[in-house]
Structure 1
Amino acid sequence: MTNKEDSYKFKKVISIGIVSELTGLSQRQIRYYEERKLIFPDRSNGIRKYSFADVEQLMEIANKREEGVPTREIRQEMTKELREKMLKGQMNAHFRFRP
């Protein structure tokens, strides 16, 4: 799948109510995960907007929480994964690697 085909996944156009319906999470739970810096919606006129990628992320968070993983550990894991992606991107750019 190319970036162009995948780009819809990252557009922040979904309201919190729809995200709640899609995930089965309450709006309060979704806002809590935002407070814990696990999810980062855009805001337009005070209204939160989410992407399909955010919905997937929320489902992963919910599954980990059901397994008893604390939000602190989830955030640490997400930070580690982000660092690894950034390092890989920097290395690819340095060595001019294009997948």
Structure 2
Amino acid sequence: MTDEEKTYKTKKVITIGIVSELTGLSERQIRYYEERKLIFPERSDRGTRKYSFVDVETLMDIANQMEDGVRTFEIRQEMKKKPDEDKLKRSMIKGQLNAQFGIQKGLK
């Protein structure tokens, strides 16, 4: 993703302390989710973890699932499926829009 494609939601600029305040999770919990490969912060030159608003939303979702008794392994498995589901949804929406507006494949 280029810098131009990044939105305020995807830019990794939030420190772990702020994420902790926003989510109510401890810094230890956040690091644990990173260890379990559920969240992927970037690192600054000095090694500081940097998160995005999308990461904050993901952490809230993870915390809610954990409260419901879902294990980290199960969450990770679902997260792996999500990109495929999102791609399928986008493809279906595109097809519906093309059909609605009479756009045929190969025409621009």
Q: What is the TM-score when the length of structure 2 is the normalising length?
A: 0.74
**Residue identity opposite 2:56 in structure 1:** V
Residue 24, structure 1, aligned to residue 24, structure 2 = yes
What do residues 50-99 of structure 1 show as CA deviations (whole Å, max 9, x unaligned)?
0001000000000000000000000000101122234566x58xx8x88x
Separation in 2 of the partners of 1:27 and 1:75? Answer: 20
1:2-55 CA distances to partner (integer Å, 9 max, x unpaired)? Answer: xx8x81100100000000000000000000000111001010120000000100
Counterpart CA distance in 2 for 1:80 and 1:42 is 22
Q: 79-88 or 8-17, which moves further after superposition? A: 79-88
Other-structure match for 1:53: 54
- What is the root-mean-square deviation in Å for CA atoms of aligned residues? 2.2
Matched, 1:82 2:75: no
Q: Which has the higher helix share?
A: 1
Q: Which runs of 4+ in 1 moved over 2 A?
A: 83-89
Identity level (%): 68
Question: Distance between the aligned counterparts of 2:65 and 2:89, measured in 1?
Answer: 26
Partner of 2:12: helix, strand, or coil? coil
Q: How many pairs align? A: 90
2:40 is aligned to 40
Q: Which consecutive residues of structure 1, in runs of 5 or more, have no partner in the other structure?
A: none
AA partner of residue 76 (structure 1):
Q
Unpaired runs of 5+ residues, structure 2, are: 99-108
Equivalent-residue separation in structure 1 for 2:59 and 2:89 (angstroms)? 25
For residues 14 and 79 of structure 1, what CA distance do their matches in structure 2 show? 24
